[in-house]
Amino acid sequence: MNPQWQFPLEALRQTPSTVSIQDEMSRRQRGIDWLMRMGATLNMGLGPCLTGATYFHRFYMRRMLEDYNELEIAATCLFLASKTEENGKRLEDVVTVMLAKVHGIPPAEVAGAYENEAKSLEHLVLTYEEVLLEVLCFDFDVRYPHTYLADIIATYDATSPDPILHSLIDCAWSVAHDSYRTPLCILLPPQIIAAASFLFAQCLAEGPNSPSLTERLEVANSTDTRWRQVLGISENDVQQVAGK
């Protein structure tokens, strides 16, 4: 991943937006929720949605929320991601789904009731796409923590009837997915997010008697090194997991 897209934590307090950091995080979350819901309705699959979410967080490191509405940028990021991930969706379909959600009606009813609004929004998305391409510097490379999680999970027996194991796998996947509601994907490498998701899921899956995160890191740093070996991460990387 291009290092220009990994930011220090303090950069979140220095974004172009002038709203409070609490408001910015809330609006980022709102935009991502919107993007994911649209992607699900369009049957786009996980990859394009995660790519669109990454574009979204990158965009607002260089542009102001006050100038670009998060819901409109979410739709634009999803539309671009559908192309870069070779899951192309027609602009008309993306806009139809967006307006259906805005007005709380079935997508089939949008064309007749909101034709003019749809045309206006299509033009806006195309305009914003040009801005998005400029902000991204035409760099479309995105990597997901889910890829690294799959590598960890592959070292376990997926056919095992152990309910804790299956709960662990489901939980780790959900944690990694939900991390996109925050800007974590532009703060840490995907393998670090995968490690954090896996360790956090272990704590949740094993219940109140589960070892603490600190204890788990100490063990993982000495005897149980399976997940570290799979991810190829160092002791410094482990400290990042503990810190985030």
Same domain, 65 and 180: no
Same domain, 177 and 101: no
Range of the domain at 79: 3-136
> Can you read off the two tokens belonging to residue 24?
């910015």
Domain final residue, candidates 104, 136, 168:
136
Same domain, 162 and 127: no
Kindly report the pTM of this predicted structure. Answer: 0.88
Same domain, 226 and 158: yes
Same domain, 103 and 11: yes
Q: pLDDT in tens for each of the 244 residues of the chain?
A: 667 899 999 999 999 999 999 999 999 999 999 999 999 999 999 999 999 999 999 999 999 999 999 999 999 999 999 999 988 899 999 999 999 998 988 888 888 788 889 999 999 999 999 999 999 999 999 999 999 888 888 877 666 666 667 778 888 899 999 999 999 999 999 988 998 888 888 777 777 777 666 666 666 555 455 666 666 766 666 666 555 4
Domain final residue, candidates 118, 136, 154:
136
CATH code, domain with 79: 1.10.472.10
Same domain, 99 and 165: no
Domain final residue, candidates 110, 136, 162:
136
Same domain, 129 and 150: no
Same domain, 189 and 163: yes
Same domain, 204 and 129: no
Q: What is the Cα 233 distance to its own chain's centre? A: 21
Domain count, the chain: 2
CA distance linking residue 108 with residue 230, whole number of Å: 47
Q: Where are the alpha helices (DSSP H) in the chain?
A: 21-41, 46-59, 70-84, 91-103, 110-113, 115-136, 145-153, 163-178, 190-206, 213-220, 226-231, 235-243
